[in-house]
């Protein structure tokens, strides 16, 4: 199937073609025609499979045939859990609507509100927003939803994890009852299905991949190492493998800042991105990483569902996450849209519980490979995974997956963005009871 077979307007098809895409991904092939029909949708797919284009393209198609928004009105609302994801979705909307006479805007916290109020005065056909800032703008009378035609909850599962449930309910009360509702997510947990009961009506469910699986385009491995030597091993791998661009995940904000200083002391260009950074600092760090000014971007899980970098070759778990699902979302930053990628984890003996949880979740062991000169004095215990495989190798340096030039024949789609937890980046087991609202959208 080609994009031209989906019935999109010529203007949208032209914009998609100019991005270099011809074939829709499985989630796009199923979701785009369904959204164009106007019914409610619940769509789930792996990270990196193009969910964002799965709703932006058909929304633009539908809105292009209607009356334009005026006077603070909004015709389609896309809610995202974090600022970075909001910016990514907005970039998609801009790219695919370049030949359409539609207006669009993005609003989120961390920046001044007055310029956003000014942009909304004339109305907007598509508004991308984080929940907290949207409620602030509505409270000031800067935005109205009387003419709203469609609501999208992007990363619906993360909305619940970050404690946005109460904000979502407040927003639903100010929206017209008659509208199209679209829920797009990596997974649909029982909690998300409970939320959906009061949101979608007779939805079409689309699920193109098993829950919590890792894409086959990402080569996974781990290097056992003592905790105190992780930074030296990371610097060694960066130099040995000539990593020009790698996204490194730290469990905490303090750890991210510390690691950046250590890498810079080793003459490795690095920057950190996390919830304590100002929005301008986060935007600059991400831009410098994308254009090559920064070699290593050290991030907390705020970046796991929002950084969409074309052909990102390398993801490193400096610390394993406490929530095993976050491992899937982290490594989903590479190997996107059919391209090849590599995910490396530096694992110390005190992280064996996290490793076991991850391997149980993905239902396979992560191959182990000791690096010569960095063999741990505290051996990493066997994970106890029922499946056998991997492990036991020793090498003088890490290897990098090839194939970075692949994947241009499909739509990238945006992944989605892990936000900092409501009380900091130190992850805890998922809680489901009355989570506090995250400050990410304040």
**What is the full DSSP assignment across 419-433?**
PPBTTBSS--S---S
Cα dihedral angle (82, 83, 86, 90), rounded to 10 degrees?
A: -170
Contact indicator for 345, 352 with CB cutoff of 8 Å: no
Domains 3-207 and 218-395 share a fold: yes
Q: What's the confidence (pLDDT) of residue 73? A: 97
442 residues of the chain, pLDDT tens digit each: 889 899 999 999 999 999 888 899 899 999 999 999 999 999 987 666 788 999 999 999 999 988 999 999 999 999 998 888 899 899 999 999 999 999 999 999 989 999 999 999 999 999 999 999 999 999 999 999 999 999 999 988 777 766 788 899 899 999 999 999 999 987 777 777 877 877 888 999 998 865 555 667 789 999 999 999 999 999 999 999 999 999 999 999 999 999 999 999 999 999 999 878 887 888 899 889 988 999 999 998 865 556 667 678 899 999 999 988 888 888 888 866 566 889 999 999 999 999 999 999 888 999 999 999 999 999 999 876 444 444 444 554 444 333 333 333 333 333 333 333 333 333 333 444 444 444 333 3
Q: Is the pTM of this model over 0.85?
A: no
CATH number assigned to the domain covering 218-395? 3.40.50.300
Confirm or reject CATH 3.40.1400.10 for domain 3-207, answering yes or no. Answer: no
Domain-wise residue ranges, the chain: 3-207, 218-395
Q: What's the confidence (pLDDT) of residue 104? A: 96
Furthest CA-CA distance within the chain:
68
**What is the full DSSP assignment across 231-279?**
HHHHHHHHHHTT-SSEEEE-SSHHHHHHHHHHHHHTT--EEEE-TTS-H
């Amino acid at each position: 199937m080609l994009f031209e077979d989906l019935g999109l307007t010529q203007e949208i098809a032209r914009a998609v073609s100019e991005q270099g895409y011809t074939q829709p991904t499985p989630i796009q092939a199923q979701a785009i025609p369904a959204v164009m029909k106007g019914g409610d949708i619940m769509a789930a797919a792996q990270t990196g499979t193009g969910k964002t284009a799965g709703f932006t393209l058909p929304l633009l198609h539908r809105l292009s045939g209607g009356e334009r928004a005026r006077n603070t009105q909004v015709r389609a609302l896309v809610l995202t859990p974090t600022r970075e994801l909001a910016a990514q979705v907005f970039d998609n909307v801009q790219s695919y609507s370049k030949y359409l006479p539609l207006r669009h805007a993005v609003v989120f916290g961390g920046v001044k509100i007055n310029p956003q109020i000014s942009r909304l005065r004339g109305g907007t056909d598509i508004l991308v927003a984080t929940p907290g800032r949207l409620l602030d703008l509505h409270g000031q009378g800067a935005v109205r939803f009387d003419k709203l035609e469609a609501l999208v909850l992007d990363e619906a599962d993360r909305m619940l994890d970050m404690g946005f449930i109460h904000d979502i309910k407040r927003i639903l009360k100010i929206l017209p009852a008659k509208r199209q509702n679209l829920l797009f997510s990596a997974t649909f947990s029982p909690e998300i299905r409970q939320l959906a009961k009061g949101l979608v009506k007779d939805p079409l469910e689309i699920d193109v991949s098993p829950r919590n699986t890792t894409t086959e385009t990402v080569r996974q491995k781990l290097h056992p190492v003592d905790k105190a030597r992780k930074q030296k091993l990371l610097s060694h791998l960066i130099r040995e493998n000539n990593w020009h661009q790698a996204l490194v995940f730290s469990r905490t904000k303090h750890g991210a800042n510390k690691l950046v200083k250590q890498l810079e002391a080793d003459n490795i260009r690095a920057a950190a991105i996390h919830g304590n950074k100002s929005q301008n600092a986060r935007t600059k760090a991400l831009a410098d990483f994308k254009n090559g000014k920064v070699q290593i971007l050290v991030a907390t899980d705020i970046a796991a569902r929002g950084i969409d970098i074309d052909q990102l070759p390398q993801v490193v778990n400096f610390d394993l996450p406490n929530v095993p699902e976050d491992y899937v979302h982290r490594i989903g930053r590479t190997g996107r849209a059919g391209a090849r990628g590599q995910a490396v984890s530096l694992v110390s003996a005190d992280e064996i519980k996290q490793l076991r949880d991850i391997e149980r979740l993905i239902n396979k062991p992560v191959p182990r490979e000791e690096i010569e000169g960095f063999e741990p004095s505290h051996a990493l215990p066997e994970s106890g995974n029922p499946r056998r495989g991997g492990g036991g190798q020793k090498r003088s340096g890490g290897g990098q997956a090839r194939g970075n030039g692949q994947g241009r024949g499909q739509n990238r789609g945006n992944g989605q963005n892990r936000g900092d937890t409501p009380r900091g980046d130190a992850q805890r087991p998922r809680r489901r009871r009355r989570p506090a609202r995250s400050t990410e959208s304040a």
